[in-house]
A and B are shown apart, each in its own frame.
Chain A
Amino acid sequence: MATQHPALKEFKYTLHRIFKNPTAILGFTLLLFFITVAVMAPYLAPPKYEHNPYKVPHTGFSSIPQPPSAEHPFGTTSGQYDIYYAAVWGTRTSFKIGLFVVSIALLIGVTLGTIAGYYGGLVDEAIMRCVDAFYAIPFLVLAMTIVVAFGRGLDVIMIAIASVAWRNYVRVMRASILTIRDLDYVNAAKLMGVSDFRIMIRHILPNSIFPVMVVASMEIGAYVLIAAFLAFLGLGAPRGYADWGQMIALARNYIVGPPDDPFLYWYTIAIPGGCIVLFVLAWNLIGDALRDAFDPKLRRE
């Protein structure tokens, strides 16, 4: 095809660059695996409670974990919660956390960043000083404080992380708007009397959104990690909710087995822990590959 649309050509080139990278292929494979598990969850692990599939079934209340068996393929953790069920439905929980947080944070961050970058002056100053104040407190610490202020629960954790995460996107968005704000085509649009809102949406956003998207893909993993830690502390969903962080919290007292077999309860930590690590790794590998693919310095080597 000789007359390819330049945008299509560029897109194909980007795809080619991404999939040339073996780590990207690994990342996308892992992500595809988790998406499959999340979509197929009702078939892989049929829910016992129809009205609330995220509730992990448990047989009995004994606090001593049971090793893998035919009935419980990955064993049970403290409180006899089925680890296999929690691992499968926990995938949905993690996607929910990652995608909810990133979309809310992007919405706030991109809006504020665009306004700050486009208008400049006093508006810019006011928004950026607010961002500075949010930046002064470590992410985890601020998120934890917000969770405490709004009570506990999985939805509160998601809101708390989102209300800290936006700060990053404002800075990235503003920086990338500043590079194109004064270009001729923007000035031409202004002269033609196009409204500010339309210029931002139609002309500036499409040309400056990519750096933010790359940062976002790299950050999803971090959100899942923070949510897992907050759930581990007991600030998350009520006991028995399918959540990997909570599964590790339940296993916490069993990291050391009896003296003659210290690794007796390895599966209680290894399975939910492995799920978290692989899930976060998938997003980080993808983010890494996207960054390399969109990096103008490396792009035309």
Chain B
Amino acid sequence: MRTYILRRLFFLTFVLLGVSVIMFSLLMTFSPERRAMVYVTTPQQAKDIPSLIKRYGFDQPFYKQYGRWAKEVASGNFGYSLVASRPVSEAFWIYFPVSLELALYAAPCIIIFGIWMGTRAGRHRNSGFDHFSRVFSIIGWSLPTFLFALVLLMVFYGYTNWFPPGILSDESSLYIIEHPEKFVRYTGLYSIDGILNGNLSIALDSLRHLVLPVITLTVVVCAILMRVMRSGMIEEMSKDYVTTARAKGVDENTILIKHARRNALIPVITVAGTLVALLMEGSVAVEIIFNRQGIGWWLATSAIQLDMPVLMAICLFMGVVFVSVNLIVDILYAVIDPRIRLD
């Protein structure tokens, strides 16, 4: 087990090296002049471009420039973000809690809802509920996240005015700005900070702004989970041990929960990596539409403003998350199912 984990960690650095090479090659598609432009703010400085190219070595061969860039990144210097107007590594900690908060609320909803629907659909195959779940999942696949979010906003903000976009309402943000001593930002997550500061109204306000984003992500992401769960349930329910349990007179609910569902959950773990990727993708559209300044919003805004360092940093970050999640999944897989051996 330990050698396996060590090997995977070695492999992880290899994949990240690959990711960084891809990212850096994309940056290198910019001409040296264009990359030097970043340092130019006034038309008068334009004549400095050749000397800037010399100074920063933009005309050096790929491996030399990559080596320098990798050294800087390893020491924590990811460049400067135009959108946030501060260094990327500093700006990251401003945007990250917003995305983390969204993911923390969306993930349980996706898991619970997906597993519940998948179990029910698989158990009553070809029932009305099963057909409903299939239609639901195929529509979930076909809906563009940004369109669904816009429609939700249209109905629940424009028509009923229940759930406004943004992170906090104006009153709450104003309160935090005016009373910085009464609202300490322990975690950066407003719903949790609100409770920790004993200020329930801010926590509730933040939750109110989270309802629509969480619904959007749940509908868009849970389709794949539901599918895997459904086919797993169908397969397990037709196995001999279920027949044996039935013959013994075990009641249907026990068979379902204690026998079949446990085994059907094993293949579900393998899609965890895909779920995380979908969640990260989905949060880009969600944060843009609901105007939540998180990592996804930062990414899209930087893309519009052609802010390459941010895009590279976020790709690296997402690469690390994705690869680590897959590593954890593989280890969990072996822990849960002793038949699987890691070597």
Chain A residues with CB under 8 Å of chain B are 23, 129-130, 132-142, 144-150, 221-222, 225, 228-229, 232-235, 248, 252, 255-257, 262-263, 266, 269, 273, 276-277, 280-281, 284-285, 288
Docked Cα-Cα span, A288 to B314, in Å, equals 33
Query: Are A144 and B311 interface neighbours, CB within 8 A?
Result: yes
Q: For B144, what are the chain A residues with a Cβ–Cβ distance below 8 Å?
A: 225, 228-229, 273, 276-277, 280
Given A138-B280, A256-B154, 17 new contacts (CB under 8 A): A132-B18, A133-B17, A133-B19, A133-B21, A134-B22, A139-B277, A145-B303, A145-B312, A148-B303, A228-B144, A255-B154, A262-B159, A263-B154, A273-B150, A277-B142, A277-B147, A285-B138
Across-interface contacts of A222 in B (CB, < 8 A): 141
Report A229 CB to chain B, min CB distance, Å.
Answer: 6
Partner-A contacts on B (CB < 8 A): 14-19, 21-23, 26-27, 29-30, 138-139, 141-147, 150-151, 153-154, 157-159, 277-278, 280-281, 284-285, 288, 299-300, 303-304, 306, 308, 311-312, 314-315, 318-319, 322-323
**A to B CB contacts below 8 Å, 9 in the list:** A137-B22, A137-B315, A139-B277, A145-B311, A149-B30, A149-B308, A248-B147, A269-B150, A285-B138
Instruction: For residue B238, give the distance in angstroms from its CB to the closest CB of chain A.
Output: 12
Would A141 and B150 count as touching, CB distance under 8 A?
Answer: no
Contacts of B306 in A (CB 8 A): 148
Kindly list chain B residues whose C-beta atoms are within 8 Å of the C-beta of A134: 18, 22
In the complex, chain B residues whose CB is within 8 Å of the CB of A130: 18
Bound form: Cα–Cα A252–B153 in Å: 11
Separation of A17 and B157 alpha carbons in the complex (Å): 46
How long is the Cα–Cα vector from A148 to B147 in the complex, in angstroms? 23
Tell me which residues across on chain A come within 8 A of B157, comparing CB atoms. Answer: 256
Taking CB atoms, residues of chain B closer than 8 Å to A132 are 15, 18
Q: Which residues in A have their C-beta under 8 angstroms from that of B158?
A: 255-257, 262-263
**Centre residue among A255, A263, A269, A285 by max chain B CB count within 10 A:** A255
Contacts A225-B144, A233-B288; A150 near B154 (Cβ below 8 A): no
Tell me whether B142 and A137 are in contact (CB under 8 A): no
Given contacts A133-B21, A144-B299, contact A221 B318 (CB under 8 A): no
Given known contacts A141-B314, A229-B146, A273-B151, A288 and B16 CB-to-CB distance under 8 angstroms: no
In the complex, what distance in Å separates the CA atom of A149 from the CA atom of B315?
Answer: 13
Taken together as a complex, chains A and B put the C-alpha atoms of A211 and B15 apart, in Å, by: 27
In the complex, the answer to whether B311 meets A148 with C-beta atoms within 8 Å is yes
Residue of A with least CB distance to B320: A136
- Kindly state the separation between the CA atoms of A46 and B278 in the bound complex, as whole angstroms: 40
Which residue on A lies nearest to B30, using beta carbons?
A149
Please, how many angstroms separate the alpha-carbon atoms of A277 and B146 in the complex? 12
Most chain B beta-carbon neighbours within 10 Å: one of A133, A266, A280: A133
Give the distance in Å from the alpha carbon of A149 to the alpha carbon of B139 in the complex: 33
With contacts A129-B18, A232-B146, A255-B158 taken as known, whether A137 is within 8 angstroms of B322 at the C-beta atoms is yes
Given A139-B281, A141-B315, A148-B308, CB of A133 within 8 Å of CB of B146: no
How many Å lie between the Cα of A90 and that of B150 in the bound state?
A: 20
Residue on A with the closest CB to B316? A137
The CA of A52 and the CA of B154, in the complex, are separated in Å by: 34
Specify the chain B residue showing the minimal Cβ separation from A145.
B311
Residues of chain A within 8 A of B315, CB atoms compared: 137, 141-142, 145
A229–B16 alpha-carbon span in the complex (Å): 27
CA distance A284 to B141 in the complex (A): 8
Q: What is the chain B residue whose CB lies nearest that of A266?
A: B154
Smallest beta-carbon distance B148→chain A, Å = 9
CB distance from A263 to the nearest CB of B (A): 7
Please determine whether A248 and B150 come into contact, CB atoms closer than 8 angstroms: yes
In the complex, the answer to whether B304 meets A277 with C-beta atoms within 8 Å is: no
B22 neighbours in A (Cβ, 8 Å)? 133-134, 137, 142
Choose among A135, A141, A146 the residue that contacts B280 (Cβ–Cβ < 8 A).
A141
Q: Which residues of A contact B146 (CB under 8 A)?
A: 228-229, 232, 248
Contact in complex: A141, B29 (CB < 8 Å):
no
| Distance of A246 from chain B, by nearest CB (Å) | 12
Cβ-defined contact, A233 with B15, below 8 A: no
Which residues of A lie under 8 Å from residue B30 when comparing CB positions?
149
Flag if B304 contacts A233 (CB, 8 Å): yes
Interface contact B29-A150, CB-CB below 8 Å: yes
In contact, A144 and B300 (Cβ under 8 angstroms): yes
Min CB distance, B95 to chain A, in Å?
14
What is the CA–CA distance of A220 and B198 in the complex, to the nearest angstrom? Answer: 50
Give the residue name and chain of the B residue nearest to A285 (CB). Answer: B138
Q: How many angstroms between the C-alpha atoms of A256 and B150 in the bound complex?
A: 10
Alpha-carbon distance A133/B318, docked complex (angstroms): 12
Measured between beta carbons, the chain A residues less than 8 angstroms from B19 are 133, 136-137
A252–B15 CA distance with the chains assembled, in angstroms: 39
A137–B319 CB distance below 8 A? yes
Determine the chain B residues whose CB is within 8 A of the CB of A140 once the complex forms: 281, 284
Q: Is the CB of B299 within 8 A of A141?
A: yes
Contact B308 A133 (CB under 8 A): no
Beta-carbon contact of A138 and B14 below 8 Å: no
Give every chain B residue within 8 A of A23 (Cβ-Cβ): 138
Cα distance, A234 to B30, chains bound together (Å): 20
Would you give the shortest CB distance from B93 to chain A, in whole angstroms? 19
Q: Shortest Cβ distance from B236 into chain A, in angstroms?
A: 15
User: B288 to chain A: which residues have CB within 8 Å?
Assistant: 233
Closest 5 CB pairs of A and B: A133-B18, A256-B158, A149-B26, A136-B319, A262-B158
Q: Which residue of A lies closest to B158 (CB)?
A: A256
In whole angstroms, what is the CA distance A162 to B18 when docked? 19
